[in-house]
Amino acid sequence: MLSHFIPVHAKAAAMADDPIAIFDTWLREAEAGEPNDPNAVALATADARGRPSVRMVLLKGHDDDGFVFYTNRESRKAGELAENAQAALLFHWKSLRRQVRVEGAVTPVTDAESDAYFASRGRASQIGAWASDQSRPLDDRATFEARYAEVEARFADGGVPRPPHWGGYRVAPETIELWEDRPGRLHHRRVFTRTGGGWDEGLLYP
C-alpha cells in the first residue's frame, strides 16, 4: 500500500520556490537525527580531460551564494578545480531517506573567510594542515607523524596561523535536486534551476 505516495499533480500546488530554505530545514533535521557527520557531502570534480574523482568533505557553511568546504589547495581536488572549476555535491541522509544534489561553478572563498574558519578548528587539525602534503604519496606513516611533531614544536609557544596553501571553496548552485524516498521506488524528485531572479522548479521521473 503506497500510503506515503502523493501524486505529482496533488503535490505541485504545495511546491516551495526556495531550495536553499528547504535545504536548511533538511540539514537541521539531519543534525538532530543522523548518527555521524550530518554535514558530510560527496564532492565530485573532474580534470581538464574530464576524468572524474569523488571524495567526502564536510560542509562548513552555506547561503544563497553557495556551499563552502575547506581543503589543502595543493591537493588533487584543488588541482582539478584549477583545471575545471565545476563541481557536484551529494548529501545523503540515510536515516531521513533523503538526498540533495548540487551542481555549479566553484570559486575560492576570501582569505578573511579562510582565516576565520581556520581559527575555529581544533589545534590538532590546524597542525595537521601544515604537516600534510595532502593527496601526495607518503613513504611511511612515521614520516607524517615526524612532520606533525616538528610543526607542533614550531608553534608550541603560540597560535597556529593558516597555511598559505590552505583555504575554502564555494560551489555556487546552478541546479539543486531534492530527492525523497517513496514506497515502491516511486521517489519524489524536485529539481531547481537558477535563473536571473531566483529559481525555476520542476519534477523528474523517479
Tell me the catalytic residues. 185
Q: Do residues 60 and 68 touch, judged by C-beta distance below 8 A?
A: yes
Q: Any idea what the Cα angle at residue 123 is, between residues 122 and 129, rounded to 5°?
A: 95
In terms of Cβ atoms closer than 10 Å to its own Cβ (0-12, 13-18, 19+), residue 88 is middle
For 103-145, give the DSSP string.
Answer: EEEEEEPPHHHHHHHHHHS-HHHHHHHHH--TTS--S-HHHHH
Three-state DSSP at 53 gives strand
- CA 174/CA 193 separation, integer angstroms: 6
